[in-house]
A and B are shown apart, each in its own frame.
Chain A
């Protein structure tokens, strides 16, 4: 199974500052012929289901704020919130869809400092 390891577990950032979350996969999730990384990012606010933010590691889902950016390749991935807003308080999960079982990272809780 591909293990997705997120860090940190929690993060407190001042309003307007940058928040960066790391997600590391236990093996590469890059499909070379297509040069695509099979990683997605989700946001889960309290009491709500998760919401898709990013797929193919860096493609923003329609309607998602451009404050959210995904980057990385191979086994190392990042989700960056460029200027943290109050409505960004949530738990963020990464996920690989390179192979079954589809697996998630443990989550990173983002709060306001």
Chain B
């Protein structure tokens, strides 16, 4: 069974940083693009970033460009999201989501998410 488990969320001050992690199991992690998608409480879904299977290509939403860095360690089956200069509007549940063989694909499965709260 494919599984994604996120960690690293928490309460952080505006301007602070956070590193989210996602550990994958049940599939060949190194063969698939991986994404971060976030959802503010009671709101819709916002795609944040994607990294290709090899790690050679990355794309970001404009809302996080320059402040977020997606990375992966295929030897550890782990995806990361480094978020810097955090703003209150970054508060959301962050989901790690498996993509397809290419960057432009549908999402699934999704992890349970990790909650990030940016507040003073």
Q: Is B32 an interface residue (CB 8 A)?
A: no
The reply on B105 being an interface residue by CB < 8 A is yes
Q: A93 contacts B45, CB within 8 Å? A: yes
- Given known pairs A49-B112, A93-B45, A106-B44, the reply for A101 and B104 (CB within 8 Å) is no
* Chain A, range 38-52, C-beta contacts under 8 Å to B: 38, 40, 42, 49-52
Residues of B in contact with A (beta carbons under 8 Å apart): 35, 44-47, 50, 59, 61-62, 95, 103-113
Q: Are B47 and A104 in contact (CB under 8 A)?
A: yes
A71 in the interface (beta carbon within 8 A): no
Please classify how large the interface on chain A is, using the bins under 10, 10 to 19, 20 to 34, 35 or more: 20 to 34
Q: Which of A50, A52, A98, A99 contacts B45 (CB 8 A)?
A: A50
- Please give, as numbers and ranges, the residues of chain A lying within 8 Å of B45 by CB-CB distance: 42, 50, 93, 95, 104, 107
Given the known interface contacts A49-B112, A49-B113, A101-B61, the answer about A93 and B44 at a Cβ–Cβ threshold of 8 Å is: yes
Q: B104 and A103: CB pair below 8 A? A: no
Q: A interface vs B, CB < 8 Å?
A: 38, 40, 42, 49-52, 55, 61, 93, 95, 97-107
**Inter-subunit contact B47/A49 (CB<8 Å):** no
Complex contact B106–A97 (CB within 8 A): yes
Contacts of A103 in B (CB 8 A): 47
A38 touches B95 (CB 8 A): no
- A101 surroundings in chain B (CB, below 8 A): 47, 59, 61-62
Which residue in chain B gives the minimum CB-CB distance to A56?
B106
Q: Given contact pairs A100-B59, A103-B47, A104-B45, enumerate 19 new A-B contacts (beta carbons under 8 Å).
A: A40-B107, A42-B107, A49-B110, A49-B113, A50-B95, A51-B108, A52-B106, A52-B107, A55-B106, A61-B108, A93-B45, A95-B106, A95-B107, A99-B104, A100-B50, A100-B103, A102-B47, A102-B104, A106-B44
CA separation between A40 and B107, bound complex, in Å?
8
Which residue on chain B has the smallest CB distance to residue A59?
B106
Contacts of B113 in A (CB 8 A): 49
The verdict on A52 contacting B108 (CB below 8 Å), with A101-B62, A102-B50 known, is yes
